[in-house]
A and B are shown apart, each in its own frame.
Chain A
Amino acid sequence: MNILVCAKRVPMTGGRIVLTADEQAIETRHLGFTISPHEECGVEEAVRLIEQHGGETTVLTLGPPEAEEQLRDAMALGIDRAILLQVDNEWEPQATAAAIIEAIEAERAAGTEYDLIIFGNESADAGNYQVGIRVAHALERPIVTGVKGVTVTDGKLRAEQEVPSGRDVYEVPLPAVVTVKEGLNLPRYPSVPGRLRAKRKPLDTKTPTAGEPGLEKVRLVLPAGDGKQTQVLGEGPSAAPAVLEILKQAGVV
């Protein structure tokens, strides 16, 4: 079977977010980059499914040229090849979905039909909760979202969602689309040979067609109320009586 995983390059923001002067982005000069933990689980699941069933896996991102780093990371974990839809700025969700659909159609024209397309439940930064659903509709395929369990048997996909009282089970025919959540699996770490192999795996770079934005970012704003006045209760075990007082105030002792 053929599997496509879509993942987005995002900064690792650490303890405090700083914005650029034009308020259009996060200041990333001193930051490393990654993909969402949800998408990391998507990559891992794709690799596991291919180990079980055979086939080929592709990872796709829409992002700047530097996003090659995230594509190589995914290939180091066992993904076979990569597609980079190169853009300068972050694209809004409908345009992102349209670009991904365009790429999937080009793949189909070139002879690759994906049986399963895996997205994160939401992107780490924008959290639009929609790119995967839009792609599924355009391809007229069923989609199950927020999945924490995936089984493929006899051309069918069984997917499990975590809900407060247990798990909800869905079953849809392949080809299908899923959006996944962290907790689906425990991703492996890349090996040194894996990293070396990843350098030589094929990466296609394309320029997607831009559309009219439906959700137009005006500016980013840091939420108020961060940066509290912290009261230091003490150092080491001798602070325990002061902690007890706080527990009493909270009504838990």
Chain B
Amino acid sequence: MPLVLIEHSGGQVDELSQQALALARGFATGEPVNALLVGPEAQDAAAALGAQGVATAYVAEHDGLDSYAPLAWARSLAELAERTSASSVIAAGSERGNEVLGHLGAITGLPLAANCIAAEPGEPATVTRVRWGGSLLEEARLHGAVKLLTVQPHAVEATPADQPGAGAVESFAPSLGEADLAIRVLERQATDTGGVSLSDAKVVISGGRGTGSAEGFAPIEELATLLSGAVGCSRAVTIAGWRPHTDQVGQTGTKIAPDIYIACGISGATQHMAGCKGAKRILAINSDPEASIMQNADYAVIGDLHEVVPAIAAEVRKARGA
């Protein structure tokens, strides 16, 4: 039966882990699914897993596991997988999920398929996984006595289980040595995030090379403030030093999921589009009607962003009677 690594916070199971569970249930074809939870408040999160089809949720208990320690998490998974004769170990394709399963693959020598959107059991298993941050898919055969895979975020729906599981919660004391805990978070430095964060914003307005300069972002910033949105940018902008990398949308930047994404002076390279696949609507403003973003957006305005963006801001003000 599959063993799923569950990430959680504030006593709630993370959405990405629920998606991983949904894929795991399909992969299990009727067999029950077990889960491992690590870290503070794991007990609370574990209690809700029966409804998601989990037979037994194991809660790791160890003094060294209070802060995140990827190798120790992987050792715990390895031990539990052996004890429960797991046929597969599955995690969310989150930063931690991919890191911990990477360690598990290295410890066990088993192959790992990262960021799958579908998986069929078998010898070998068949998986469909993402490449290029989601711009391309790969169908692959996954070998190994135990199948290791992670689940691409937001690709599988986190449906409730047709059949609830037994929902037992058991504590599990992994045998961890000093060396296993050598890689762990020593401290968290809080950064003060003034304003709306890019990944959570309902409105994101980005500028690309078409802005021409750092100063060229002034109308974009103004519109973002008016709409209580966040400012984003393309990589052409960050490598020119016009905006910090924390503003970059894309495969190697931030993935966004706003109600509307307004991309100004951005050509629409696949690596940029990989970051805004979660947007409900995309509006492109570009002076070139042939730019590839003009084929990948829902709406387009052909024109100079330096004229169009201020005109939109004026229209919004007018509508608000200001």
* Neighbouring B residues of A222 by C-beta, 8 Å: 136-137
Least distance between B266 CB and chain A CB atoms (Å): 11
Asked whether any CB of chain A lies closer than 8 Å to the CB of B182, the reply is yes
B316 at the interface (CB under 8 A from A): yes
Q: Which residues from A are CB-within-8-Å of B110?
A: 214
At the interface, is chain A mostly helix, strand, loop or mixed?
mixed
Q: Is there contact, CB below 8 Å, between A215 and B106?
A: no
Q: Is the interface of B mostly helix, strand, loop or mixed?
A: mixed
Q: B280: nearest residue on chain A (CB-CB)?
A: A250
Taken together as a complex, chains A and B put the C-alpha atoms of A219 and B294 apart, in Å, by: 29
Q: Which residues of A contact B105 (CB under 8 A)?
A: 94, 130, 133-134
Interface digits, B290-322 against A, CB 8 Å rule (1 contact, 0 not)? 011111111111111001101110111001100
Given contacts A15-B292, A252-B202, contact A134 B135 (CB under 8 A): no
- Tell me whether A1 is interfacial, beta carbon within 8 Å: no
Task: Decide if A15 touches B267 in the complex (CB within 8 Å).
Answer: yes
The tally of residues in B whose CB lies under 8 Å from a CB in A reads 101
Instruction: Say yes or no: A237 contacts B245, CB within 8 Å.
Output: no
Is the Cβ of A226 less than 8 Å from the Cβ of B185?
A: no
In the complex, which of the residues A161, A167, A216, A236 contacts B307, with contact meaning CB atoms closer than 8 Å? A236
Task: Give chain A residues whose Cβ lies under 8 Å from the Cβ of B269.
Answer: 13-15
**Does A21 count as interface, using CB distance less than 8 angstroms?**
no
Contact (A137, B296) CB under 8 Å given A166-B188, A246-B281: no
**Complex formed: what's the CA distance from A230 to B263 in Å?**
14
A71 to chain B, nearest CB (A): 21
Chain B residues whose CB sits within 8 angstroms of the CB of A126 once the complex forms: 131, 138
Within 8 A of B (CB), among A210-253: 212-223, 226-228, 230-244, 246-253
Q: Which of B27-35, B43-51, B58-66, B96-104 contacts A (4 or more CB under 8 A)?
A: B96-104
Contacts of B319 in A (CB 8 A): 244, 248, 253
**14 A-B pairs whose Cβ atoms sit less than 8 Å apart in the complex:** A13-B269, A127-B131, A137-B103, A137-B107, A143-B183, A165-B190, A169-B188, A216-B143, A227-B295, A239-B311, A240-B312, A241-B315, A244-B315, A247-B260
Q: A214-B111, A220-B138 are in contact. List 4 more A-B contacts (CB 8 A).
A: A14-B269, A14-B292, A214-B143, A220-B136
